[in-house]
Each structure stands twice: as structure tokens, then as C-alpha cells.
């Protein structure tokens, strides 16, 4: 039961043997969010070796995903199991953060046999104590039907609880359910409300979703320029769908001046981020361009990527 797990590294409550470790752990969290895995590893490894369960779990995750280290299942399992020894007693004693982590480990089979029922048990215990991460994961479980019977009303219930605590992913997910009318009556204005709350926290998917609403004129007056504004905000974070959308706007002249070089630049970026539609679109646009124009677009894309998608126009 693989779930999207935003802010995973932000869970350091009551899991450190010494409060003095909070600073390095927080710095490791910040480095990870910036995808500076080398720094995250440098900071988290000593904490993990020193017995910090949060660091141990997350070090296991880095080995599991090959982030900052070569992917290594054996090393990942080693750190997951070390974390499990510390987490289980805390979870049994009622620590909500430990309960949430235990839910993750059972849900994904990290250091334990995968067990959806056990994952749900620990998520519910953590969520009942107000743990927003667990509330979000319960919402996602019910929304997707992966790990429990699909139930949109239950998904809305748990998303709403997490969203009320300012959890951006839950706010965006609640917006999606209002937009499609699952678990709640379809309400574009309400969808926009939740998208905007998540977008204000810099949540790229919500920024993209706002762009789509302006594109389609749902819950707001149709405004292609405003749509492009929101796509750009998400694109600046490397969001593949938004990179594609900005490129297509340059190709069509909707909300941005028609410019095949700029269009191809953004489509190169979207394609490199893994968007399959971008790969097809850039071929169609490139057919209308000279080799010099294509080379210029490719150079601009490389420069934009080097700047981490900032100030690319």
C-alpha cells in the first residue's frame, strides 16, 4: 500500500533519546526537502547510529529509494528493523508519531511483513490522537481503495481533519474530491477554496490544479493568463504536468505569447521530468523548427534546469 507521504521527514516528536538532536535532525529534514540528499545523509546517519528512531527509519527509506546512496535493500531493512525495535514500544505506550510510523512500516512492508489491516490499526490509533499524517493516510487509503474498501465519504472525513490542521496534501486532496464530486456534492468553489489553501503553502499539485480550474473556467471565470501564472508557480518546483502546460501555452498562444522556442524549452523540461505527453508534443513542434532553433531551445532548457527551474523566461 504505497501512499504519497509528504513531510515524512518532519516527524521527530518524542522519538529522539536526546532533545539536543533536534537541531541536526531539523537540518537533515530541510536538506531532504531541498533534495540535497548528500547533506541529509551526512546529518541523519550519525543520528541513526546514535539510536534516533526517526533517523533510522528515514535512513532506511533513503536506502530503499536510492536517495543519496546506492539503492540497497539489505541496508534499508537493517535500518527499518532498528527503528522498529524502538518504535513498537512507543506505539504500544500510545505515542501517536510512533503509531503513525508503525502504520507506514506495515503498509509498505518495511522491516515487517506487509499487512494492510495492521497498518490501518496503527493509523487509526494515531489519527484518533490528532496526528495529521495518519489522518491523511487514512483518507488516501479510503480514497484509493488500496488497503481498505474504497469509501469516499470516509476519505473526506479524514482529509478534512488533516486539512483543518493545515496539512497541504490533505487540503489539495479534499479539493480534488469537491471538484469531482466524490464523497461530497460537486462544488467547484469549495474545490478552489481548498486548492488555494494548499497552494498558499507552496504545494505544487494544488498550484497546478488551480491553473486547470482557470483553464476550464470551473469555480472561476475562464482566464488563460491566470492559468499560466499558476502553472508557472508549480513548474518552478519541477512539477512535470505544469512544465508541460506552460510549454503548450507557448505553443498555442493561450495565456502566453506564441513562441515555439520557449514552447520546446518547457517541453524538453517536462519530457526530462518523465511526462509522456511532452515527449510526443515536442516532436510535433520540433518538426516546424530549424535545427538552430531546436538547439537554442535545448540550451535554454539546460540553463533552466541548472537554475532549478527559477527565472527561466
Cell of 79: 535500518
Long-range residue pairs from 58-63, CB within 8 A, at least 24 positions apart, any chain: 58/8, 58/9, 58/28, 58/32, 60/110, 60/111, 61/8, 61/110, 62/37
* Closest of 191, 143, 150 to residue 171, by C-alpha: 191
Cell of 17: 533519546
What's residue 34's pLDDT?
A: 73
Alpha-carbon span 34 to 122, nearest angstrom:
30
What's residue 22's pLDDT?
A: 57
What's residue 6's pLDDT?
A: 36
What's residue 5's pLDDT?
A: 43
* Closest of 69, 93, 17 to residue 48, by C-alpha: 17
Alpha-carbon span 150 to 139, nearest angstrom:
10
Residues of the chain with pLDDT under 50: 1-21
**Model pTM?**
0.86
What's residue 217's pLDDT?
A: 97
- Helix, strand, coil share (%) of the chain residues, nearest 5: 70, 0, 30
What's residue 108's pLDDT?
A: 92
What's residue 1's pLDDT?
A: 40
- Angle between helix axes 53-65 and 22-33 (nearest 10 degrees) is 20
Amino acid at each position: 500500500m504505497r501512499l504519497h507521504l509528504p513531510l515524512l521527514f518532519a516527524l521527530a516528536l518524542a522519538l529522539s533519546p536526546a532533545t539536543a538532536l533536534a537541531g541536526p535532525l531539523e537540518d537533515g529534514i530541510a536538506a531532504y526537502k531541498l533534495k540535497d540528499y548528500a547533506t541529509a545523509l551526512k546529518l541523519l546517519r550519525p543520528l541513526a547510529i546514535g539510536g534516533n528512531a526517526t533517523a533510522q527509519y528515514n535512513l532506511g527509506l533513503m536506502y530503499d529509494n536510492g536517495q543519496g546512496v546506492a539503492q540497497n535493500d539489505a541496508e534499508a531493512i537493517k535500518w527499518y528493523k532498528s527503528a522498529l525495535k524502538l518504535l513498537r514500544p512507543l506505539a504500544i505506550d500510545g505515542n501517536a508519531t510512533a503509531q503513525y510510523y508503525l502504520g507506514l512500516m506495515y503498509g509498505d512492508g518495511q522491516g515487517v511483513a506487509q499487512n494492510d489491516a495492521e497498518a490501518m490499526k496503527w493509523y487509526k490509533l494515531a489519527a484518533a490522537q490528532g496526528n495529521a499524517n495518519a489522518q491523511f493516510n487514512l483518507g488516501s487509503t479510503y480514497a484509493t481503495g488500496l488497503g481498505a474498501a474504497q469509501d469516499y465519504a470516509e476519505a473526506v472525513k479524514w482529509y478534512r481533519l488533516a486539512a483543518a490542521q493545515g496539512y497541504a496534501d490533505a487540503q489539495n486532496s479534499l479539493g480534488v474530491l469537491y471538484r469531482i464530486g466524490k464523497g461530497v456534492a460537486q462544488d467547484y468553489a469549495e474545490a478552489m477554496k481548498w486548492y488555494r489553501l494548499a497552494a498558499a503553502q507552496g504545494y505544487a499539485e494544488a498550484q497546478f490544479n488551480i491553473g486547470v480550474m482557470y483553464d476550464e473556467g470551473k469555480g472561476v471565470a475562464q482566464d488563460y493568463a491566470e492559468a499560466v501564472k499558476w502553472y508557472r508557480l508549480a513548474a518552478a518546483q519541477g512539477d512535470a504536468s505544469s512544465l508541460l502546460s506552460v510549454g503548450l501555452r507557448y505553443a498555442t498562444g493561450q495565456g502566453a505569447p506564441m513562441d515555439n522556442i520557449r514552447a520546446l524549452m518547457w517541453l524538453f523540461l517536462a519530457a526530462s521530468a518523465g511526462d509522456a505527453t511532452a515527449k510526443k508534443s515536442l516532436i510535433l513542434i520540433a518538426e516546424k523548427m530549424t535545427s538552430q532553433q531546436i538547439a537554442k531551445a535545448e540550451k535554454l532548457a539546460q540553463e533552466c534546469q541548472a537554475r532549478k527551474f527559477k527565472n527561466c523566461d
